[in-house]
Structure 1
Amino acid sequence: MQDATPENPYEANEIWLDSERVTEADGLPRGVTVAFKPTSVGNVVRLSSAGRYQNVQIDLGSAANCVVSLGSVRVAFGGLKISFVINNGRVSSGAAVSVGDGTVFNGATHIIGALSDGIAVTIGRDCLFASNVSVRGSSHHGLWDMDSGELLNPEAGITVGDHVWVGNQVILLNKAEIGSGSVVAARSIVNKRFVEQNALLAGTPAAVRRSRVEWTNGFPKDNGAQPRNVPNR
């Protein structure tokens, strides 16, 4: 193992597997790597031994005092990368990325944490991510109104509720919020809040295309010839 700083990076940062602190790279779960740079100090990474990891990369090279929490997720193939932002020499500080239990990544997904303190990218439980999804918690650069001087793109975080299906090549941008039980159609771009639950979102930018939808992992053998039994609601 190579030190990222004059001190051990596993001392300058806390890496936890369940309730056990990881003190060297060999203690990480198989399929997980954590990268450091000299600026990587005070970060906390929490992993679950119940997770199933293939090519999970946690890059703390642009992070200080940030938190990454992965529940019992499943990265089936394609990989999951979590990284943070550096902007004109300033690294992400005090930002957070969390993913809930049961969430599955079925292809390459890149989650980028915010630059600003206290801003989080939060993904709930039992979600399903298709291939080539980008979750971008920062715009990286400032966008200003020339007349008022107002910052037009302040960081507000990203929130994905529980049991959300995110389709192929979807992009989730700063300020995105998706209600639990919802579906985001392939190649959509979500850049604002959708608090409605069980909604079908689609488009660039995304909009609600249908309400009161419900998705399941299994696809019907009869191709939908018979409707599902719907309980009284």
Structure 2
Amino acid sequence: MAADEAKDQFQRNQIWVGSSRILSEGDLPSGISINFHDRSTGNIVRLADGGSWRNVVIDLAAAIECVVEIGAIKIQAGGLRISFVVNAGRCSTGATVTVGEGCVFNGAMHIIGPLTPGLGVNIGSHGLFATNVSVRGSSHHAIWDSNTGRLLNPEAGITIGDRVWLGDGVVVLNKARIPSGSIVGARSIVNREFLQENTLLAGSPAAVRRENVMWTNEFPVDNGASPRE
């Protein structure tokens, strides 16, 4: 991308780190890449001061007037990619993706924003995410009831609460809601709303496997011989 073209992209889209607006690619913190397209315009990206920006890619190539907000996160391995949808020439417009502060990433994670204006993928604070996690706010293509003509997969956004742990290979799909304090087992597919906090979800599709759970980052040195108070 030519220097003048790149500068124009930063003028047509607002990129902020803390209270400072970024006006050129060279001013981005190390570890962050932002991809644009000629149609990328009116987008706002807000990144918190103090984040660990290792291998973070924000792809605005299919975004118009979308918002991305990322708190002070920590990427220990892999990376985080955020992108939007283009379908039949129509781009994600007015969609949002938010990731709360204190989230920890232990592998590659991909978040795809919705296509429908006003909807979002919203992830709370202090979550823990394993490798190969996919959070998909759009199905990309329509599924219709052939008898009634009703759309079977309308977009509804995705909500992931605070202190949620997603295991290896988890896929979170349009319409999903994962309450705060919950755990999602490895290779599960979450495709609907769950309302009760502190639950263990697992399976394809995911279902409640246990209630009243909590998780910690540290595994006990006594292998659980002494119950946690």
Question: Which bracket does the TM-score occupy, shorter chain normalised?
Answer: over 0.9
Extract unaligned runs of 5+ from structure 2: none
CA contact (8 A) 1:4 1:38 kept: no
Label 1:98 to 1:226 Cα distance change in 2 as closer, same or farther (>3 A).
Answer: same
Q: State yes or no: 1:147 paired with 2:123.
A: no
Offset, 1:220: 0.2
Extract unaligned runs of 5+ from structure 1: none
Q: TM-score, normalised by structure 2?
A: 0.98
Q: State yes or no: 1:164 paired with 2:164.
A: yes
CA contact (8 A) 2:6 2:24 kept: no
- Aligned-partner Cα distance in 1 for 2:202–2:6: 49
Matches within 5 A, 1:14-163: 14-163=14-163
Offset, 1:162: 0.2
- Aligned-partner Cα distance in 1 for 2:196–2:3: 47
- Aligned-partner Cα distance in 1 for 2:4–2:130: 33
CA contact (8 A) 2:174 2:191 kept: yes
Aligned partner of residue 141 in structure 2, secondary structure: coil
- Aligned-partner Cα distance in 1 for 2:26–2:106: 26
Partner of 1:195: 195
Matches within 5 A, 1:177-196: 177-196=177-196
- Aligned-partner Cα distance in 2 for 1:12–1:177: 33
Q: Superposition RMSD on alpha carbons, in Å? A: 1.2
Deviation digits for residues 58-116 of structure 1, max 9, x if unmatched? 00000000000000011112111000000011111000000001001110000000001
CA contact (8 A) 1:37 1:60 kept: yes
Partner of 1:207: 207
Label 1:3 to 1:140 Cα distance change in 2 as closer, same or farther (>3 A).
Answer: farther
Aligned partner of residue 11 in structure 2, secondary structure: helix
- Aligned-partner Cα distance in 1 for 2:105–2:124: 13
One-letter code of the match for 1:22?
Answer: I
Label 1:99 to 1:21 Cα distance change in 2 as closer, same or farther (>3 A).
Answer: same
